[in-house]
Structure formats: structure tokens, C-alpha cells
Structure 1
Amino acid sequence: MSSKSADAAATQLSQLRDAIDAVDTQLVDLIAQRAAITAQVGQVKRQLKQPLYVPEREHSLIRARRQYAEQKGLAADLIEDVLRRIIRESYRTQTMQATPTSTDLSRPVVIVGGRGRLGQLLAKLFGQTGYQVTVLDKGDQWTDELAAQAQLVMLSVPVNQTVGVIRQLPALAADCVLADVTSVKSEPLQAMLEQHSGPVVGLHPMFGPSVQNLAKQLVVVTPGRCADACQWLLDQFVNWGAHIETSDAGQHDEAMGWVQAMRHLSTFSYGLHMAEENADIDALLQMSSPIYRMELMMVGRLFAQNAELYADIIMANKQQFPTIGRYLERFGEALGYLEKGDKARFIEQFEQVKAYFGNYASQFLDESEGMVQLADDQRFRQQHGG
């Protein structure tokens, strides 16, 4: 290419980049305009007492925009990714406009353990929604007036202290809802039923205290007593955007053995092994695939949090310990036949497990691809100071 042609091409490239910058600015302006409209939507929802998250509306919106994107020759997945990120931000702005579902806001909501991180989040949500919130924590004393007036007492204390705290509760109003947010349910639920003769319900928020809002977050409900009297509380979580799943306490605790004890102990052991072997984390990050980076992120995430909390969670699921023991045996067996070079045995068991997962295997593969892309984008931003 001649010098003159190169100069012309460079000029054209600069002009095209300027045009892209102008369009990007317009995109930001349009997103800001959309945010202002969604804030108004939140105000109208409050008047109508509608929930933050309406799945049918979001699904309809996404479906229509995907079709329009294809008509414009754009990748539907790209537009869906962009819209979902924008929608997630709009939920954050609408959270403060949530509607109270209780019919009597003059009666206080008491958060026992309300200075803990999850307790603080719950107190904030109730307060923003218009409830009178009273926080009790270590050293705070109940008053007869508070016990008689409370419409809800919610326990957000460490799992190994929950039953003890329940047994020390004063006599509550007959219609006061007593609830807990502990990660195990059988013992706390039984203790609440024995301590309080009124409405009782067990809750397990399947999210951490760092969430910005409850849109699409899962709350598992284990019914106790007087379900109708507890319904306003469940409706409040739905109004905040949460998804409710109901389970009996025993079924919940069995599942949590897998979801929590097994996973957390496996993650802890992997991190412990890395530390004992002094693995070079920087080198692993530099040469890791996006999927391994995600796995490493989940390990590091555990150790960025409270050690006592995870010890309590694992130890509260002792019924899972025999299963964990069998897991270690299977791990050792697999290592044994791999050391012997028995590839056929590995393939045989691989196919057995593949058959067990069935269609879930391909479903999980598809779901993880989007997460892998996000992890890759995050690594790029970190590497380039974005």
C-alpha cells in the first residue's frame, strides 16, 4: 500500500471510530432514558402493589426483542445479554419502591440478630418498604411492650445458636409471626413450634447478604403453623422480587447436605490442598481456561468470607458426613485405577454418570457457556485496568 493510500485509510479508520464513539454515547443516553422510565414504573407498581419482578413481563420483553434483533441481522443472544444486564440494573432502582404487604404497619418487625450481615439486609429491606423495624442483638433486651406489639419476629443468628435463642424468646402476641432464616430447618422449626403457639414459618434465603436486591433470588419456605397468617410475609418476599419454593423441613435439610455441606467441604479441602502444596495462584490465573478460572474463583470466594459461618453450616449438616466419607472412598478408588492406567474403567464410569445426568448434562453445558463468557470478560477488564 502506498503512503498516500495508507494515510487515507488511517483517516477513514479515525472517522469510523469517531462514529462508533458517537453511537456509543447515544446508547448511554438511551439507557439513562430507559432508567428514568423504569423508575417511574417502580412508582406506579408501588401504587398498584405489584411485585418487583414479574417473570411473564420479562420473558415477553426478551422474546420480542430477540425476534426484532434477528430481523435487523443481529445475534439474538447478544441483545438478550445486553437487555438482561440493563433489566437487572432497573431492579436495583425499583427496590426502594417496594410495597408493604402487611395490613398493619403500626406494629414493629423485630429482627433478632439484626446487626449481622444478613440481618442488616433484612432490616434495610423492611425499613425501605415502610415497616417499623426494631433490631435486637447481643446485649439487647426484650421489653414486654415490644413482645406484645410485634407482628413479626425474624431470627437471623448463627445456625449453632438458633435453637438456643428461640428457647429464650419471651411470650409473643398470639398473631405474631415467628420465623427464622437459618440454613437448616428441622430443629429450628420444631423449637419455634414449641416456643410459640401462634403462626410459625421457616425460611431459608438462598442468597448471601451482598445481593443488591431480591429480584430472582430463591427463598425456601418450610411451613410450620397457621400458613394463612404467615402469607403476608411470603408475599413480601415475592413483592421484593424473590421466588418462593416450599419444602418440608426434612426434605430441605437432606438437600442442603448436598447443596451446602458437601459443596463447602469440597471447596474448603481444595483450597486447603492448594495452600499446603503452595500452588502459584498467579501462574494458574495466567494459564487457566475461563472455566477453571471460574472454579478457582469459587474456591477463593469461600475464603474471602467468615470461617466460623462455614464451619457452622458444615457441622449443622452432620447427617451428610457418611455420604462425604463415601465420596472420599470413591475419589480414592478413581485415583487408584487411573494410577494403574485403567482408562477403560474411567470411561465406563464416565458413561454411567453421563447416563445418570441425562439431559441435565447438555442443559448445564449450555448454561455454563454464558457464565464462561462473563468470566472471560471479567478477566480482560482486570488485565487492562477496566
Structure 2
Amino acid sequence: MTEKNMVTKLVTLRNKIDKLDKNLINILSQRLKLVKKIGKLKSYYDLPIYVPEREKLIINLRTKEAQKLGVSPNLIRDILHRIMYESYINENKNNFKTLNPNLKKILIIGGKGGMGQLFKKMLILSGYQVNILEKEDWNQNINNFFLDTEMVIISVPISSLDDVIKKLPILSKKCILVDVTSIKNKPIKKMLKKHNGPVLGLHPMFNPNNNVLTKKLIIYCNGRYPESYNWFLKQIKIWGVKLKCVDRIKHDKYMSFIQSLRYFSILIHSFNLSTENIKLKELLKFTSPAYNIDLIMAGRFFSQNPNLYTDILMSSNNVKLIKNYLKKSNYILSLIEQNNKIELIKLFYKIKNWFKYYIKSLNLKSDNILRNINN
């Protein structure tokens, strides 16, 4: 084959690829138009955005079809996840059915913060009247803010929570009092003491800057009269959020390990890097994808308001956990300093045995980490 013939064939093949790419874009455009219609139907008939069984069925069918045609199932799986994510974004632009049309007014204390703004946006899309109360507003006649209010959502830093609850006026017996902090036992106790009506604790397990709430998790802890706010939990599910009910004491116990020790570890590791004359661009040349994820999470950590994290780290219960963590760190360091390889290997196998029941599920979950990290 001459060079001229080779170039001609290459151009012909590339033109065919360009045509297929254009067709693919047209197909995606048609799919998104159908998604919009589905979103409107879901809104009208009170259906949730996210139906896990339907998503799982689509992915399983398409990956099997791809395999028969010699196309990588992982490629199709990744493409479908990305397309579905975009579809959920489009569905989130629709209004949602109002499950409690008789509710007069919702007040969000701290409504200008990230989580407060998110709840305000979603509640307005769901047809509710929403007002916000900020720190500077407490100097005014706050009774006007609470007039005809039938739900109060407290979305403030943990350090401000006690003060806000103390300042609350006497609320209507049917008013639902909600907080969205990352600790649950103490806030719920204080709200129950302050208010005689329904009380609910929410812990959104995601960054408020997310474009879409589909598949995101909110943990909720019942306080009092759950029958009064079941409609609100159903409203949240319509947004595509997954809900999990947890005992508030159990919640705080496990969240202390997840939050305080993770935040402490990120803080120490990042502080160490920043003081060791490390150039991140150079460091990234030598890292694995798993370590890149660690750096991404650290970057997100330091892009947030530090008040939240310092409040969590300085909690008395969390200080105890951090001290125990440091004791165990020092123990391992002593083994290393003593060159005690035998004990280190014993420790390794001891931890490995503790992990062995979870390793399979952890490995399965790790396949989705890179896919979900940007969601």
C-alpha cells in the first residue's frame, strides 16, 4: 500500500468515526429529551427520581449486550453511569410534587450557608414557602420570622447550635423542629427539652455543593412524633435521596470514628507534606490512583470552612478518641524503632484477620470509587 492510499483510507475511516460521533450526540440529545418528559411524569405522580432497581436492570442488560458484541462491559457501565448522572441533573431541574400543600411556612435558620441554601432550593422546587433567619436577624423582632411557621430547620455550625436552640421562641405544638448537624444525640436532646412538638434530626452525608442529590444519603434520627414528619421524609426521597434511620447514640459513636479520626489524619498528613518542602506536581508523578484520591479528598477538606472541622475535632469525646489513636500510633512507632519485625508482622496478621470478613465487599465498593468521586 502506497502512502497516498494509506492516507486516503485513514481519512475515510476517520470520517466514518466522526459521523458515528455525531450520531451518538444526537442519540444522547434525544435521550435527555425523553428524560425531561419522564421527570415531569415523576413529579406529577409523586415518584422518586432515583429507582435503584430500574438503574441496576438497565446496566445489567446493556453490559450483557455489550459483551455479546465484543465491547468492554466496564466501558458501557462507565458510560451509562455518566449518562444517568446527567439525566438526574436534568430531572432535578423540574419541580417536585408538594406532599404537604397545607404547610404554611418553613423557616431555615442559617439559610445562607451551603446546606441551608440546598434545603431552601429543594423545598422551593417542592412548592413550599421558605424564609431564612441569619445571625444578624436575631437583633430584630424575631417573632415575625416565626409567625405561621410550621417547620424550623436549624442549619448552623455545631459551635452555634446550643445558642440557637436557647434563643428559639415558644413554637407551635404542631411545628416540626429539625437540625442538620453531623452530631445527633446532643442536639436532639436539647431540641426535645426546648420544644414540645415534633423533633427530627438529619445528617446529610454529602457536600452541599453537589449538583444532584440522587443516590446521596441522609441519615435521620427520630426525636418525637415521627408520624408528624413522615411526609417530609417522603418528600426528601422524591428528590432521589436515600434515607437511613439510625439510633442517635449509635450514630454519634460511629461518626466519631469516621469523622474525627479521618479529619485528624488528613490534617496531620497534609500538615506534614506542607512543611517538608514537597511540590505536589512532582509528587503526583509518582502516585497511584488510590493516593490521588487521598489527595483529592484532602483538597476538598481544605476547601471547606474550617469552623466545622475544628468544632468536630475539639469535641471532648473526639479528643479522647484522638488520644487513643496517638497511643496506638506511638506503639507502632516503638516497634519500628526497636526493629521488632516479628511483632509488626503479628500485628499485620491480627488486623488482616479482623478485615477478612469485609475485604470482598470493600473490593467491590472500590470499583465504584473513581466513578463516584466527582459525583
Deviations 1:265-316 (A, max 9, x none): 1101111111122222121012212111111222222112211221112223
| Cα distance in 2 between the residues matched to 1:312 and 1:128 | 32
The secondary structure found in structure 1 opposite 2:203 is: strand
Q: Give the TM-score taking structure 2 as reference length.
A: 0.93
> Contact 1:109 / 1:150 at 8 angstroms: preserved in 2?
yes
> Contact 1:151 / 1:175 at 8 angstroms: preserved in 2?
yes
Cα 1:239–1:142 shift into 2, 3 Å: farther
Could you list the runs of 5+ residues in structure 2 that have no partner in the other structure?
none
Q: For 1:365-384, what aligned pairs fall within 5 Å after superposition?
A: 365-372=363-370
> Contact 2:63 / 2:77 at 8 angstroms: preserved in 1?
yes
| Cα distance in 1 between the residues matched to 2:312 and 2:28 | 41
> Contact 1:111 / 1:136 at 8 angstroms: preserved in 2?
yes
Query: How far 1:247 sits from its partner (Å)?
Result: 1.2
| Cα distance in 2 between the residues matched to 1:112 and 1:254 | 27
The secondary structure found in structure 1 opposite 2:157 is: coil
| Cα distance in 2 between the residues matched to 1:181 and 1:157 | 8
Q: For 1:62-141, what aligned pairs fall within 5 Å after superposition?
A: 62-97=59-94, 98-105=96-103, 107-140=104-137, 141=140
| Cα distance in 2 between the residues matched to 1:176 and 1:71 | 57
Deviates more, 1:174-183 or 1:351-360: 351-360
> Contact 2:155 / 2:179 at 8 angstroms: preserved in 1?
yes
Match of 1:12 in 2: 9
> Contact 1:147 / 1:173 at 8 angstroms: preserved in 2?
no
1:225 equivalenced with 2:224 (yes/no): yes
Cα 1:134–1:210 shift into 2, 3 Å: same
- Return the letter of the residue paired with 1:194: K
Deviations 1:90-146 (A, max 9, x none): 1111113222222315x1111110011111111111112211110111122455455
> Contact 1:174 / 1:197 at 8 angstroms: preserved in 2?
yes
1:235 equivalenced with 2:234 (yes/no): yes
Match of 1:312 in 2: 311
Deviations 1:144-177 (A, max 9, x none): 4552411210000111111210111112221111
Match of 1:32 among 14, 29, 32: 29
> Contact 2:257 / 2:321 at 8 angstroms: preserved in 1?
no
The secondary structure found in structure 1 opposite 2:218 is: strand
> Contact 2:107 / 2:146 at 8 angstroms: preserved in 1?
no
1:49 equivalenced with 2:46 (yes/no): yes
The secondary structure found in structure 2 opposite 1:183 is: coil
Query: How far 1:34 sits from its partner (Å)?
Result: 0.5
The secondary structure found in structure 1 opposite 2:191 is: helix
Match of 2:185 in 1: 186
The secondary structure found in structure 2 opposite 1:244 is: strand
Match of 2:331 among 333, 337, 342: 333
Cα 1:109–1:341 shift into 2, 3 Å: same
Deviations 1:177-222 (A, max 9, x none): 1000011111110111111111111111111111112111111111
The secondary structure found in structure 2 opposite 1:139 is: helix
Deviations 1:219-267 (A, max 9, x none): 1111000000011111111111111111121111111101111111110
- Return the letter of the residue paired with 1:190: K
| Cα distance in 2 between the residues matched to 1:52 and 1:142 | 40
Query: How far 1:339 sits from its partner (Å)?
Result: 3.8
Deviates more, 1:201-210 or 1:294-303: 294-303
| Cα distance in 2 between the residues matched to 1:46 and 1:256 | 34
The secondary structure found in structure 2 opposite 1:135 is: strand
- Return the letter of the residue paired with 1:293: N
The secondary structure found in structure 1 opposite 2:49 is: coil
Number of matched pairs? 371
> Contact 2:78 / 2:371 at 8 angstroms: preserved in 1?
no
Q: CA RMSD in A?
A: 1.9
Deviations 1:337-361 (A, max 9, x none): 2344433333222221121112322
> Contact 1:163 / 1:187 at 8 angstroms: preserved in 2?
no
| Cα distance in 1 between the residues matched to 2:348 and 2:270 | 25
Cα 1:362–1:346 shift into 2, 3 Å: farther
Query: How far 1:369 sits from its partner (Å)?
Result: 4.0
Match of 1:158 in 2: 157
| Cα distance in 1 between the residues matched to 2:212 and 2:292 | 26
The secondary structure found in structure 2 opposite 1:161 is: helix
> Contact 2:184 / 2:251 at 8 angstroms: preserved in 1?
yes
> Contact 1:354 / 1:361 at 8 angstroms: preserved in 2?
no
- Return the letter of the residue paired with 2:237: V
Match of 2:270 in 1: 271
Match of 1:300 in 2: 299
Q: Which runs of 4+ in 1 moved over 4 A?
A: 372-375
The secondary structure found in structure 1 opposite 2:202 is: strand
| Cα distance in 1 between the residues matched to 2:93 and 2:150 | 22
| Cα distance in 2 between the residues matched to 1:13 and 1:319 | 67
Q: Give the TM-score taking structure 1 as reference length.
A: 0.91
| Cα distance in 1 between the residues matched to 2:42 and 2:178 | 27
The secondary structure found in structure 2 opposite 1:258 is: helix
| Cα distance in 2 between the residues matched to 1:75 and 1:342 | 47
